[in-house]
Amino acid sequence: MTDFPSLAEAEARDAADPLAGWRDRFTLPEGVIYLDGNSLGALPVATRALMHDAVDRQWGEGLIRSWNDADWIGAPRRIGDKIAALIGAAPGEVIACDSVTVNLYKLMGAILAARPGQGRTILTESGNFPTDLHVAAGIAAQHSLVLDACSREAIADRIGPDVALIVLTHVHYKTGERFDMAAIQALADAHGVPLIWDLSHSTGAVPLNLAADAARFAVGCGYKYLNGGPGAPAFLYVAAEALEFLGSPIQGWMGHAAPFAMTDDYAPAPGIERFLAGTPPMLSLLALEAGVDLMLEADRDALWTKSQALFDFLGQLMATRCPELQPITPARADLRGSHASFAHPNAWPINRALIDAGVIGDFRAPDVLRLGLTPLYLGFADIWHAVDRLATIMGEGRWQRSEYSAPTRVT
């Protein structure tokens, strides 16, 4: 009778899923279907114990000694090296520190300072993630450049000698659209224009090979698919051959060649550590490490295969059961990330009603319902139930209830 996959079919697919066991590595609340791991990743079981240890033993017992004994001092580089392995970079090319915002600022400032007078604009995509646009606007003004935020379609044509720097988000936070990294990078290289990739919605989500794609500069987020915890530190990537030409505009003591020599004069660390600024927030950094360790353990090809299967399964269900919601994420796997977005003029109250029904998705202004597909801890039955509940909300018009009418903060 139905023209959409049955729950039994979903359960059969879960039973056959080689990644199904991974769900037990996360502590998800009872009765919740979590489709927002692209905004804040779930808590790994191992992280709980590690954080208790970090607080109770490393800080409480070890005190200041843990900077050496627990190698806190090495954490930004150690975790950076682990992230490097996830994104196709080499050890020494990635450092875990600060936020995406601050890392973008440091990297943009470093590149612009290294190439004074070259180009007139900073090129980015209109509708890019706000922090990318805001940081770019601020630094453009500081360097007497013009911010050129144009449509995705126009980007390629805009790349030319006028451009001082390009900043692109690899997977779009709202639509899920993915740039062809190798193609755009080659175009930028052909014009000799440096290009920074924001990998916030890519890392741990889609296949990444920065070396193969010849990407030289990137930043990325720790609290989404890396499951690093709320506001986890971010990362910054500079290809080895570019590093020596760059210095951070924020010259902090942790980026000094010899931080504990305590000299008045600044000398940047020879390696990627030069992009460190202040003392890193160690508890948050250690939680990030646990998330990265878990991701390193997973078979990333299998993850991406499952992400595609979940996406297609969701699309099939949505098209038949919730046709009022318009899919805006590209259907072709190589053109998107690991989340699926749907437009509806009432996306805000729909999302609120969905949360009350035990399905945590995400709203993104002005009209997008965003559903994150995290293959490590989501199954096909989860997707089935989520759409089933959404179909009920839509069918009953439940989102029109007054309790869902007043916008509040949504993260």
Name the strands in the sheet holding 94-97, side by side, starting at the edge strand that comes first in the sequence.
94-97, 234-238, 217-220, 195-198, 163-169, 121-125, 146-150
CB of 148 to a copy of itself, least distance (A): 12
Q: Per the omega criterion (within 30 degrees of 0), is the bond before 366 cis?
A: yes
Q: Which of 77, 106, 178, 224 is catalytic?
A: 224
How many Å apart are CA 221 and CA 200, to the nearest integer?
Answer: 4
The least distance separating a copy of itself from the CB of residue 60, rounded to whole angstroms, comes to 4
Decide whether 169 or 185 has the Cβ nearer to a copy of itself. Answer: 169
Query: Is 237 noted as a catalytic residue in this protein?
Result: no
In the complex, the smallest distance separating the C-beta of residue 189 from a copy of itself, rounded to whole angstroms, is 27
Of 37 and 337, the one with the shorter C-beta distance to a copy of itself is 37
143 is in an annotated binding site: no
Q: Judge whether 101 is annotated as a binding position.
A: yes
- 223 is annotated as contributing to ligand binding: yes
Nearer Cβ to a copy of itself, position 55 or 319?
55
Residue 320, annotated as binding a ligand: no
26, 34, 105, 129: the active-site residue: 129
Candidate list 82, 216, 306, 370, residue with the active-site label: 370
Active site residue 174: no
CB atoms within 10 A of CB 268: 18
3-state helix, strand, coil in the chain (%, to 5): 45, 15, 40
Given the complex with a copy of itself, which of 216 and 274 has the nearer CB atom?
274
Check the annotation: does 256 bind a ligand.
no
Nearest to 292 by CA among 132, 84, 13, 27: 84
Write the DSSP assignment of 52-86 as a string of letters: HHIIIIIIIITGGGHHHHT-STTHHHHHHHHHHHH
Q: How far is the CB of 142 from a copy of itself (least distance, A)?
A: 6
Residue tagged active-site, from 34, 179, 223, 404: 223
- Is 370 tagged catalytic? yes
Whether residue 363 lies in the annotated active site: no
Long-range pairs of 314-318 with CB within 8 A, sequence gap ≥ 24: 314/340, 314/371, 314/373, 314/383, 314/387, 315/340, 316/4, 316/5, 317/4, 317/5, 317/383, 317/384, 317/387, 318/342, 318/387, 318/390
150: DSSP letter: E
Identify which of residues 233 and 379 has a Cβ nearer to a copy of itself in the complex: 233
Pairing of strands 368-372, 362-364: antiparallel
Q: From the CB of 316, what's the least distance to a copy of itself, in Å? A: 26
The DSSP line for 16-58 is T-TTGGGGGGB-PPTT-EE--TTTSPPPBHHHHHHHHHIIIII
CB-nearer residue toward a copy of itself: 283 or 298: 283
Q: Is 27 annotated as a binding residue?
A: no
Instruction: Measure the CA–CA gap between 369 and 386, rounded to whole angstroms.
Output: 13
Please report how close the Cβ of residue 319 comes to a copy of itself at its closest, in angstroms: 26
Q: Is 2 annotated as a binding residue?
A: no
266 among known catalytic residues: no
- The response to whether 260 counts as a known ligand-binding position is no
Nearer to a copy of itself by Cβ, of 42 and 166: the residue is 42
Does the annotation flag 52 for ligand binding?
A: no
Type of residue found at 161? P
Residue where the block lists tokens 């805006």: 328
Do residues 152 and 103 make contact, with C-beta atoms less than 8 angstroms apart?
A: no
Least distance (Å) between residue 8 CB and a copy of itself: 28
Give, in order, the Cα–Cα distances in Å from 331 to each of 21, 51, 338: 27, 39, 11
The catalytic position among 36, 98, 198, 213 is 198
* Bind-site residues for pyridoxal 5'-phosphate: 101, 129-132, 169, 198, 201, 223, 253, 279
Annotated catalytic residues are 129, 198, 223-224, 370
* Bind-site residues: 101, 129-132, 169, 198, 201, 223, 253, 279
